[in-house]
Amino acid sequence: MKKVRVLIRPKKGLLDPQGRAVREMLQDHGFKVGEVVVGKVVEMEVDDSQDVKTLVEKFIVNPLIEDYEIEET
């Protein structure tokens, strides 16, 4: 088994209402923050034989609206 981490974000240029809400809330509380992006992280133990990219693209992310990165940890 290997451990993989998949980081999933809204595609650049698409609305990220959660990110905007967090940014505005932090600024309202006086914090100096710039862009905020809210996404998901999926951490999995996967058998070494498995094709992680296929698994992720078919079942974990929606490539129409999301970008992703796979990291082995």
Among 14, 15, 21, 43, binds a copy of itself (CB under 8 A): 43
For CA atoms 12, 63, 42, 73, the dihedral sign is negative
Exposed/middle/buried for residue 69 (C-beta within 10 Å: 0-12, 13-18, 19+)? exposed
Among 14, 15, 26, 65, binds a copy of itself (CB under 8 A): 26
Q: Nearer Cβ to a copy of itself, position 15 or 40?
A: 40
Q: How far apart are CA 19 and CA 36, in angstroms?
A: 5
The residues that touch a copy of itself, with contacts defined as CB under 8 A, are: 1, 7-9, 19, 22-23, 25-26, 29, 31-47, 49-50, 55, 59-60
